Amino acid sequence: MSQAPWLRSALLMGLCMASSAVTAQVSPKGNWRGIIDVLPNRPPVALVLKVAGETATLSLREPLQCNVLGRFVLLDQAGSHYKFEPANGGYCMRLYPGEMVVKPTMDNKLLITIPSTSGPALHAELEHAP
């Protein structure tokens, strides 16, 4: 029983496209920093995003001082989607079970969006941190 040559080619093309999607989602790897408004009537909070492989760790600084890990699940026109895992406590516990969408910009920055079911989405523009 032999496979048609077109079927073999289609399978190889599908594997290449899947590999490209994973590579595309890790392209902005490294450390990124910025500020984000998370609490009404409070100053913005500094944040650091570390993208490594198929994970992205979001760290909110003082006064929230918490971390949450996201695992890559999808790449689409909106960007790379990371599903949050349970956080280490504090404000970050509110983000689970949610997601974060990360999208590179033309000027070498990252835009992150954290959708919310209980209020407005959170947005931040991040710059690469040396």
Q: Contact at 8 Å (CB) between 55 and 66? A: no
Q: Which two tokens stand for residue 74?
A: 């999808």
- pTM for this structure? 0.78
Place of tokens 């594997």: 15
pLDDT in tens, the chain (130 residues): 555 554 454 444 444 444 444 444 445 789 999 999 988 888 999 999 999 999 999 999 999 999 999 999 999 999 999 999 999 888 999 999 999 999 999 999 999 999 987 778 999 999 999 8
Q: Which regions of 5-118 does DSSP assign to beta strands (E)?
A: 30-36, 45-52, 55-60, 66-76, 79-84, 99-104, 109-114
**CA torsion, ordered 65, 102, 74, 121, to nearest 10 deg:** 70
Backbone angles phi, psi at 42, to 5 degrees: -130, 155
- Domain 5-128 architecture: Beta Barrel (2.40)
Report the pLDDT value the prediction gives residue 12, as an integer from 0 to 100: 45
